[in-house]
Chain A
Amino acid sequence: MAAESVTDAADIAATVDAVFAAESARIVSAIVRVTGDWQLAEDSLQDAAVRALRAWPTEGVPRNPGAWLTTVAKNRAIDLLRRSAAERRAVLRIAHEPGAGDSAPAGDVAREEESMFDDRQVKDGRFDDGRVDDRLSLIFTCCHPALSMDARVALTLRTVAGMSVETIARSFVVSEPTMAKRLVRARAKIADAGIPYRVPPRELLHERMTGVLAVLYLLFNAGYSSARPEGLIDTALEAEAVRLTRLLVHLVDADGVVDAAGDRSESVALLALMLLNSSRDRARVDGEGMIVPLDVQDRSRWDHDAIAEAVSLLNGVTSELADRGEPAGRYYLQARIAAQHGVAGSADDTDFAQIARLYGQLAAVMPSPMVELNRAVAVAMADGPEPGLRLVEAIAASGSLDGYYLLPAARADLLQRLGRDEEARGFYARAAALAPTRAERAHLQAKTASLRR
């Protein structure tokens, strides 16, 4: 055996992970389509990974590792199917023995065997997967609203993205057995409750597409503000969300069916939004691991290629919406806002009047006090602190953001800019008391120190 084929175990593991990420959705969707058995798909995939980890260090990584993994997983699935068929056969034979209670008619054994191996299931020992790309069915099923949100997120990462259970568990700060149990439960519910494996019919498409986008955005945000102890940003999870959203856009385009009520534009817009938000990752955290506010970030550290791609995607959506006379969706508007920041050379060069208008539109699509607060801040930047403060006070009076630290923080900031330092002091104190992290608290206390005595 050639010496160069013996590769470092860590390299092999990384290769297996990468191949997994690229191929798992295709493999799982093929096995599920044919057998309807999610656990079988998972077990086959696991076995294939274990075999790769065992074989590749000595035999070398195959020239086409994806095809290798696919073949091994499918053969494994066939093995497991044969084995369970053999078990059923044995059970039926035992049931058929004289004196074994309720005996099955002789024909049942043969029929049972036939149905297990009709050629719809297995062709020449291989699955027939030359047909449609089934990964879209996989995504819709993983994001089915009858599953809990936790289960949807976990299942999407495991089966569509091919992420290891260990990595998913770490990203969501739960133990590996807990995450494994969550996945087993989700697969069991799909089977037991009859959750269909398909791209939903037209009348359900819009609602379900909205659900898929919500799962992907949640997944992205779990990376953007990570709960893990090791850091504020989980860039791997963000990248996974971007990759999945790209895949969704690609599949939707290839499918040609999923095009109801602006669903395509919203998936493209979500991709743009993710690209814009993650483009700031390198500037968003300082050397001490503290969050750096947008206005003082080093913009040369932003990922300007990602910003350019997002802006071009958004321009495409803008003309698509205009052509079709469709209203702007929530992801489109949020992405447009993020793009305004993304293309501004500095905080001062930002077109806050435009941002305020976009927040106004967003509030109409997605009414929320958080959107109102952001709009108030943008209005203050565009038209001065006075009109901004009026909006903030209206939100405070409504009580809908009681207990949320950024409301008194924004109020204090605007009061300070109006020279009303005494009033500002009280709101800074309230904000600091409500702040969720030490970093935020320290930031607010520093602002208090800047007030006139």
Chain B
Amino acid sequence: MQYMLLIYTDATAPELPDDDRSIVDWVAEIERRGVTRGGDRLRPPADSTTVRVRDGELSLTDGPYLETKEWIAGYDILECDNLDEAIDIASRHTMARHGAIEIRPIWPLNL
């Protein structure tokens, strides 16, 4: 099964020290286990652009679709046996300690 990890910031979590390099180990670990199907950081919401088409007309907004205190700071796509494996991997992510990680099962459209 494939899962997407949505890596969230969390203002109430302990701050991530500038010199924290533990994400390097995490990436090495998922590569070693052969479960990664891609992932990366995302620029902050200030850099985002929201697209809508209404009545055939394109409208663009500077900023995120929803203004929230917590935002998605990255993502990873994993191929896992089951949810327990995805939880195990997510729990080792740097941002599990300094933010929050939402595990969403990928729902294949199978076109």
**A residues bordering B, Cβ < 8 Å?**
144, 146, 192-196, 200, 204
Cα of A146 to Cα of B103 in the assembled complex, Å: 10
Q: Are A146 and B87 in contact (CB under 8 A)?
A: yes
Top 10 closest pairs, chain A to chain B, by CB: A196-B82, A194-B1, A194-B82, A194-B83, A193-B105, A195-B83, A193-B83, A196-B84, A192-B105, A146-B83
Q: Is the interface of A mostly helix, strand, loop or mixed?
A: loop
Kindly list chain B residues whose C-beta atoms are within 8 Å of the C-beta of A204.
84
Q: Are B84 and A200 in contact (CB under 8 A)?
A: yes
Cα of A165 to Cα of B87 in the assembled complex, Å: 31
Shortest CB-to-CB span from B108 to chain A, Å, is 12
**Which chain B residue lies CB-closest to A197?**
B82
The tally of CB-CB contacts under 8 A between chains A and B is 25
Within 8 A of A (CB), among B32-80: 80
**Which chain B residue lies CB-closest to A200?**
B84
Can you show 11 pairs from A to B with CB atoms below 8 A apart? A144-B83, A146-B83, A193-B103, A194-B1, A194-B3, A194-B81, A194-B83, A195-B82, A195-B83, A196-B83, A204-B84
Kindly list chain B residues whose C-beta atoms are within 8 Å of the C-beta of A194.
1, 3, 80-83, 86, 105
Shortest CB-to-CB span from B90 to chain A, Å, is 11
Kindly list chain B residues whose C-beta atoms are within 8 Å of the C-beta of A146.
83, 87
- 5 further A-B contacts with Cβ under 8 Å, apart from A192-B105, A193-B105, are A144-B83, A194-B1, A194-B81, A194-B83, A196-B84
**Which chain B residue lies CB-closest to A145?**
B87
Shortest CB-to-CB span from A209 to chain B, Å, is 14
Range class of the B interface residue count? 10 to 19
Kindly list chain B residues whose C-beta atoms are within 8 Å of the C-beta of A144.
83
Shortest CB-to-CB span from A322 to chain B, Å, is 34
**Which chain B residue lies CB-closest to A196?**
B82
Q: Chain B 86-111, CB within 8 Å of chain A: the 1/0 string?
A: 11000000000000000101010000
Kindly list chain B residues whose C-beta atoms are within 8 Å of the C-beta of A193.
83, 103, 105
Q: Are A196 and B81 in contact (CB under 8 A)?
A: yes
Kindly list chain A residues whose C-beta atoms are within 8 Å of the C-beta of B84.
195-196, 200, 204
Kindly list chain A residues whose C-beta atoms are within 8 Å of the C-beta of B1.
194
Kindly list chain B residues whose C-beta atoms are within 8 Å of the C-beta of A195.
82-84
Shortest CB-to-CB span from A192 to chain B, Å, is 6
Kindly list chain B residues whose C-beta atoms are within 8 Å of the C-beta of A200.
84
The listed residue with most B CB atoms (<10 A of its CB), out of A144, A146, A194, A204, is A194
Kindly list chain A residues whose C-beta atoms are within 8 Å of the C-beta of B86.
194
Cα of A146 to Cα of B105 in the assembled complex, Å: 13
**Which chain B residue lies CB-closest to A208?**
B84
Cα of A194 to Cα of B105 in the assembled complex, Å: 8
Cα of A146 to Cα of B3 in the assembled complex, Å: 14
Cα of A200 to Cα of B83 in the assembled complex, Å: 12
Shortest CB-to-CB span from A210 to chain B, Å, is 15
Kindly list chain A residues whose C-beta atoms are within 8 Å of the C-beta of B3.
194
